[in-house]
């Protein structure tokens, strides 16, 4: 179990992580989703004891990282696949880690097998590894101590499609066996297919969180017709929340919190012929992600403007 509570990180005047709170539970894959610079890596680095927090806490199995007795046996971390010692071979890196953690040498070969690195590849120096091979080695390193918790920053980076599928299956299996998995990504599809729970971060703040089903169900109804302005007026007049799918393109339609039947009846009463009417969940997480992060940016812009005017 991972608990992030009121976590804040400031770099000078810049707040990279702003009162972030969420939980990653055992038996589930939690996807940590956000655009570039949102604060994902900073949060994970604090969790892994690599960066101190300005305030708030990040705990693994009830303790901050530096108070875990044998961290590698409790939390497996893959933050930067290129951070391994480039002059060592993959096997040497795993051997040193196994000795540090008090593990038998046989565990090294088991992990190499598990991540699909051949004996020949394991004997090469890491500086000659491709990014995908580094990710596999990093995962072997994270799994070496058989921890209950796995924390991975953009693990799909550099993997080919078969590698991505393999990684996804491995993480799902790990969670099915009771493990806690927290992985970050800006690859929306990757999170959508692998995660059970999703936390969305934008500009350092959590903008949405819940089970995947909850988040997708929360996207409402998508409705389109030739006269978007009148449709928006009619839905708002009937007391429903309405927003444009794409403010720059009226033809993209509206998203409303009315259910499809109600939205259809409102349009009928207004004499409007609909060209599209469906639950917005078919649009997937991408739409929600873009909508949420765009909203954060607008909010930030609005705050700045308000600040400047004050
Ligand atoms: N050491 C640092 N010094 C100053 N600012 C930093 C430092 N590390 C991160 N930041 C800033 O904090 C913010 C969050 O960065 P972070 O790397 O956590 O984002 P991210 O969500 O992981 O992005 P990406 O998907 O691009 O990896 C960014 O604005 C970044 O410039």
Model confidence over 121-134: pLDDT tens digits? 999 999 999 988 99
Residue 253: which region, alpha, beta or left (left: phi > 0; alpha: psi -120 to 50)?
A: left
Contact assessment for residue 20 and residue 205, using Cβ atoms and an 8 Å cutoff: yes
192-238: pLDDT as tens digits:
889 999 999 988 999 889 998 877 766 688 999 999 999 999 999 99
Contact assessment for residue 203 and residue 300, using Cβ atoms and an 8 Å cutoff: yes
- In angstroms, the CA 209 to CA 203 distance is 15
Q: Regarding beta strands 14-24 and 205-211, do their DSSP bridges make them parallel or antiparallel, or are they unpaired?
A: unpaired
| Least-confidence region, from 223-227, 277-281, 304-308 | 304-308
Ligand 1 atom at minimum distance from 201 CA? 21
- In angstroms, the CA 97 to CA 229 distance is 63
Tell me, in angstroms, the distance from the centre of ligand 1 to residue 87's CA: 28
User: What is the per-residue pLDDT for 158?
Assistant: 84
Tell me, in angstroms, the distance from the centre of ligand 1 to residue 16's CA: 6
Ligand 1 atom at minimum distance from 9 CA? 12
Q: Probe ligand 1: pick from 4, 10, 38, 190, max atoms within 8 Å of CB?
A: 38
* Direct distance between the N- and C-terminal alpha carbons of the chain, in angstroms, rounded to an integer: 44
Around ligand 1, the residues with Cβ closer than 6 Å are 11, 14, 16, 34, 36-42, 186
Q: Probe ligand 1: pick from 13, 41, 53, 204, max atoms within 8 Å of CB?
A: 41
| pTM (predicted TM-score) | 0.79
Read off the pLDDT of each residue in 110-137 and give the average, rounded to a whole number. 93
Ligand 1 atom at minimum distance from 204 CA? 14
Nearest CA to ligand 1 atom 5: 11
Question: What is the ipTM for the molecules in this complex?
Answer: 0.96
User: What is the per-residue pLDDT for 249?
Assistant: 85
281 has a pLDDT exceeding 80: no
Nearest CA to ligand 1 atom 18: 39
For helices 131-143 and 161-176, angle between their N-to-C axes, nearest 10 degrees: 10
- In angstroms, the CA 119 to CA 127 distance is 17
Does residue 59 or residue 248 have the better pLDDT? Answer: 59
5-31: pLDDT as tens digits:
999 999 999 999 999 999 999 999 999
Read off the pLDDT of each residue in 241-267 and give the average, rounded to a whole number. 90
Annotate the chain with three-state secondary structure. Answer: CEEEEEEEEEECCEEEEEEEEEEECCCEEEEEECCCCCCHHHHHHHHCCCCCCCEEEEEECCECHHHCCCHHHHEEEECCHHHCCCCCEHHHHHHHHHHHHCCCCHHHHHHHHHHCCCHHHHCCEHHHCCHHHHHHHHHHHHHCCCCCEEEEECCCCCCCHHHHHHHHHHHHHHHHCCCEEEEEECCHHHHHHHCCEEEEEECCEEEEEEEHHHHHHCCCEEEEECCHHHHHHHHHHCCCCEEECCCCCHHHCEEECCCHHHHHHHHHHCCCCEEEEEEHHHHHHHHHHHHHHHHHHHHHHHHHHHHHHC
User: What is the per-residue pLDDT for 310?
Assistant: 47
Residue 28: which region, alpha, beta or left (left: phi > 0; alpha: psi -120 to 50)?
A: beta
Residue 300 CB: number of other CB atoms within 10 A?
Answer: 14
Token match 């949420």: residue? Answer: 292
* CATH superfamily for domain 2-210: P-loop containing nucleotide triphosphate hydrolases (3.40.50.300)
């Amino acid at each position: 179990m991972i608990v992030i509570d009121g976590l804040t990180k400031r770099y000078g005047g810049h707040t990279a992580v702003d009162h972030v709170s969420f939980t990653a539970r055992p038996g589930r894959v939690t996807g940590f989703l956000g655009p570039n610079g949102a604060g994902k890596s900073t949060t994970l680095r604090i969790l892994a004891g690599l960066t101190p927090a300005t305030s708030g806490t990040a705990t693994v199995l009830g303790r901050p990282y530096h108070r875990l007795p044998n961290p590698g046996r409790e939390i497996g971390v893959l933050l930067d696949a290129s951070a391994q010692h480039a002059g060592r071979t993959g096997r040497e890196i795993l051997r040193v880690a196994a000795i540090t953690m008090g593990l038998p040498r046989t565990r090294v070969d088991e992990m190499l097998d598990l991540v699909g690195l051949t004996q020949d590849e394991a004997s090469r120096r890491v500086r000659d590894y491709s990014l995908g091979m580094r990710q596999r080695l990093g995962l072997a390193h994270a799994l070496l101590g058989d921890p209950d918790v796995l924390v991975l920053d953009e693990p799909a980076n550099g993997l080919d499609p078969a590698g991505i599928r393999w990684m996804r299956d491995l993480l799902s299996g790990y969670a099915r066996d009771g493990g806690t998995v927290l992985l970050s990504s800006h690859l929306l599809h990757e999170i959508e297919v692998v995660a059970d729970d999703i936390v969305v971060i934008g500009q350092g703040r959590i903008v949405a969180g819940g089970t995947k089903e909850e988040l997708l169900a929360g996207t409402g109804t998508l409705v389109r017709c030739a006269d978007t302005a009148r449709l928006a007026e009619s839905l708002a007049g009937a007391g429903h929340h309405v927003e444009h799918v794409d403010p720059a393109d009226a033809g993209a339609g509206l998203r409303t919190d009315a259910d499809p039947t109600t939205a259809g009846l409102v349009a009928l009463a207004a004499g409007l012929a609909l060209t599209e009417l469906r639950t917005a969940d078919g649009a997937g997480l991408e739409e929600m992600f873009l909508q949420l992060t765009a909203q954060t940016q607008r909010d930030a812009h609005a705050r700045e403007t308000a600040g400047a005017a004050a």
